[in-house]
Chains A and B, each alone.
Chain A
């Protein structure tokens, strides 16, 4: 083998290894080299870039493998945990535009999310309760635990003051959902799985209020970045239900939809046709996630 062809093979191997990151780490450690061997044996001499068909096959295969690996254990317990993880992430995201004014409470909300993500339910409970009480206090103009100058002004992530367009009941509801879920899961005395670190990445688009959609026409604009994150997450829930024939993602999506629909219902008088379209898209995706696990089998091994 010439120096040039060895260099080409190394490039190709490196690129295929990157694509193999789509697979769960356990699968990659056990069988990654086996797949890589086959990919390199099939490669045309001198090729440096993965064949598109192979690249797509690895991405889809990896996603499928990740989803199927998730669909183990009790579906409703795992679905509930996933749902409260999403709501805890949104609760943290609501504070990120005010981190400079509320560093301690944002840190506590982040620790609450960390505890939920790692499955430390008994730690997550008091943290969520503490932050929830403080936030309901701010939303209702009361000072709990420490003195917070009101209104709380935002950084570049938002233009509105904290809970300016919200209501104490809505804030209480979003923390109550997490707390109820944590109480139920704790009472079962069964461990829950640790969740992906990617949840931290979802907090930023959920926190960013811009680019705002409908800001000119309505008092209750919808953040396009948050909408995109929601559509991607609910789309993954549909894919999960389709591939694994499992309802856990539908349950989690339903828990999340509860919070979004409460918010829209509260602002009912300020909503337009576009808001209904937004709610309709989310509802459609959640309904699809709920029904798709029961789709007809195409063949006996499907």
Chain B
């Protein structure tokens, strides 16, 4: 996958991709990003929550529910329809870009 695409930053792409499977809390999102990127993308907690807040402000993700675990609040985030459309458009754009390089020569 190309780093730092022009449409969505790479960590944002992995956050949105992780949330396609269903609502997740911060720790689960962090683990999913690491797995999906094969350990290449591991944002710090401060960076991850900065991304989540920005995506939430832009309406690309939303808070699905809040739970209290060990007396501490925990938010579960879900991807919105706008977020779904955005990440799919980004995947298509990258697929088309990759095809330019990966298609068999002379095809």
Which residues of A approach B to under 8 Å, CB–CB? 30-31, 33-39, 41-42, 53-54, 56-62, 64-65, 298-302
CB distance from B11 to the nearest CB of A (A): 11
Inside 8 A of A300's CB, which chain B residues have their CB? 7-8, 86
The one of B5, B50, B54, B75 in contact with A34, judged by C-beta atoms closer than 8 angstroms, is B75
- B46/A54 in contact, CB under 8 A: yes
- A301/B27 in contact, CB under 8 A: no
For the complex, give the distance between the alpha carbons of A300 and B93 in Å.
13
For the complex, give the distance between the alpha carbons of A161 and B45 in Å.
52
- B30/A65 in contact, CB under 8 A: no
- B44/A301 in contact, CB under 8 A: no
The one of B5, B7, B12, B30 in contact with A42, judged by C-beta atoms closer than 8 angstroms, is B30
Nearest A residue to B71, CB-CB: A33
- A54/B44 in contact, CB under 8 A: yes
Inside 8 A of B22's CB, which chain A residues have their CB? none
Inside 8 A of A33's CB, which chain B residues have their CB? 72-73
- A299/B8 in contact, CB under 8 A: yes
For residue B26, CB closer than 8 A to chain A, the reply is yes
- Mark B51-95 against chain A: 1 for CB-CB distance below 8 A, else 0: 001110010100000000110111100000000001000000000
Inside 8 A of A30's CB, which chain B residues have their CB? 73
The one of B46, B69, B86 in contact with A60, judged by C-beta atoms closer than 8 angstroms, is B46
For the complex, give the distance between the alpha carbons of A36 and B73 in Å.
11
Known: A33-B72, A37-B26, A299-B12. 14 other contacts (CB 8 A): A33-B73, A34-B75, A35-B45, A35-B46, A36-B72, A39-B45, A42-B27, A57-B46, A58-B45, A60-B46, A298-B9, A299-B9, A301-B12, A301-B54
Which residues of B approach A to under 8 Å, CB–CB? 4-9, 12, 26-27, 30, 43-50, 53-55, 58, 60, 69-70, 72-75, 86
A39-B45, A301-B60 as given contacts; A34 in contact with B8, CB under 8 Å: no
Please classify the interface of chain A as helix (H, G, I), strand (E, B), loop, or mixed, using the class held by over half of its residues: helix
A58-B44, A298-B9 as given contacts; A31 in contact with B55, CB under 8 Å: no
For the complex, give the distance between the alpha carbons of A198 and B48 in Å.
28
Inside 8 A of A36's CB, which chain B residues have their CB? 72
For the complex, give the distance between the alpha carbons of A65 and B8 in Å.
20
- A57/B44 in contact, CB under 8 A: yes
Inside 8 A of A56's CB, which chain B residues have their CB? 44, 46
For the complex, give the distance between the alpha carbons of A225 and B9 in Å.
39
Inside 8 A of B53's CB, which chain A residues have their CB? 65
Inside 8 A of A62's CB, which chain B residues have their CB? 46
The 7 closest A-B pairs by CB, nearest first: A57-B44, A61-B46, A57-B46, A33-B72, A58-B46, A61-B50, A57-B47
- A61/B49 in contact, CB under 8 A: yes
Q: List 14 A-B contacts (CB under 8 A).
A: A30-B73, A34-B73, A37-B26, A38-B48, A42-B30, A57-B43, A58-B46, A61-B50, A62-B46, A298-B4, A298-B6, A299-B9, A300-B8, A301-B55
A37-B27, A38-B26, A41-B27 as given contacts; A301 in contact with B58, CB under 8 Å: yes
The one of B7, B45, B49 in contact with A299, judged by C-beta atoms closer than 8 angstroms, is B7
- A42/B45 in contact, CB under 8 A: yes
Inside 8 A of B86's CB, which chain A residues have their CB? 300
A65-B53, A298-B6, A299-B7 as given contacts; A38 in contact with B45, CB under 8 Å: yes
- B6/A299 in contact, CB under 8 A: yes
For the complex, give the distance between the alpha carbons of A137 and B30 in Å.
64
For the complex, give the distance between the alpha carbons of A42 and B28 in Å.
11
CB distance from A27 to the nearest CB of B (A): 8
For the complex, give the distance between the alpha carbons of A30 and B56 in Å.
15
A58-B46, A300-B86, A301-B60 as given contacts; A38 in contact with B54, CB under 8 Å: no
Nearest A residue to B6, CB-CB: A299
- A34/B72 in contact, CB under 8 A: yes
- B49/A31 in contact, CB under 8 A: yes
